[in-house]
Amino acid sequence: MVDLKFNKEGLIPVIAQDYRTGEVRMFAWANEEAVKKTLETGYAHYYSRSRGELWKKGETSGELQRVVEVRVDCDEDTLIYVVEQEKNRACHTGERNCFFRNVSGSKVEKLLPFEVLPRLQEVISQRLKEKPEGSYTVKLAEEGFDRVLQKFGEEAVETLIALKNQEKKDILYETADMLYMLTLALTLSGIDVKEVMEELGGRFR
């Protein structure tokens, strides 16, 4: 194990990053005991400077963070907990992460590119569960899986045509439509987007 560099208070900064979406969920501090507890239990532990005590994320709220991996920076004085946020809300305000505002104080609505597909799948899953009136996703799903596959095939062909014609605007538009249909088909098949990315990631050498 690397020789972690704790500060003079015996603490080290920890960033919690979501394994599935890549988003930064929160920032906190950990002491040596918290890091050991995290490694031993597989769940994120931190140190509260205000309370002066060790705490397990989500122990009272249920918002547990299952730790997939702990990474250390090049100076060995900062950690990343790569986590799966079990109830999808990391912030005490009820937001999914603690960095939901910009410096002007406005709520951030735009997703970062690497978040888009997993967040799209979250929305699709929510639509299929709640079945809101007028939802295109629900309409397609209720028409049957073959209909979803048909729509995916249509969008794939339209993407091929756009690529053949080399019109960037059309390529972007049609590819986005195709990815939506593919994500819907994967969701109906019980496959998480992260599983596809894990398969693709495993091919890197």
| % of the chain at pLDDT higher than 90 | 98
Mean pLDDT within 122-137:
97
Please tell me the predicted confidence (pLDDT) of residue 8: 97
pLDDT in tens, 62-81: 999 999 999 999 999 999 99
Question: In the predicted model, what is the mean pLDDT of the chain?
Answer: 97
Q: Where are the domains of the chain?
A: 11-85, 113-198
Please tell me the predicted confidence (pLDDT) of residue 205: 81
Checking if the pLDDT of 96 tops 80, the result is: yes
Mean pLDDT within 146-150:
98
Mean pLDDT within 127-153:
98
Checking if the pLDDT of 1 tops 90, the result is: no
Pick the CATH number of 113-198 from 1.10.10.10, 1.10.287.1080, 1.20.1250.20, 1.10.150.20: 1.10.287.1080
pTM of the model: 0.89
Please tell me the predicted confidence (pLDDT) of residue 31: 98
Please tell me the predicted confidence (pLDDT) of residue 55: 96
Please tell me the predicted confidence (pLDDT) of residue 142: 97
Name the CATH topology of 11-85.
Ubiquitin-like (UB roll) (3.10.20)
Q: How far apart are CA 146 and CA 152, in angstroms?
A: 10
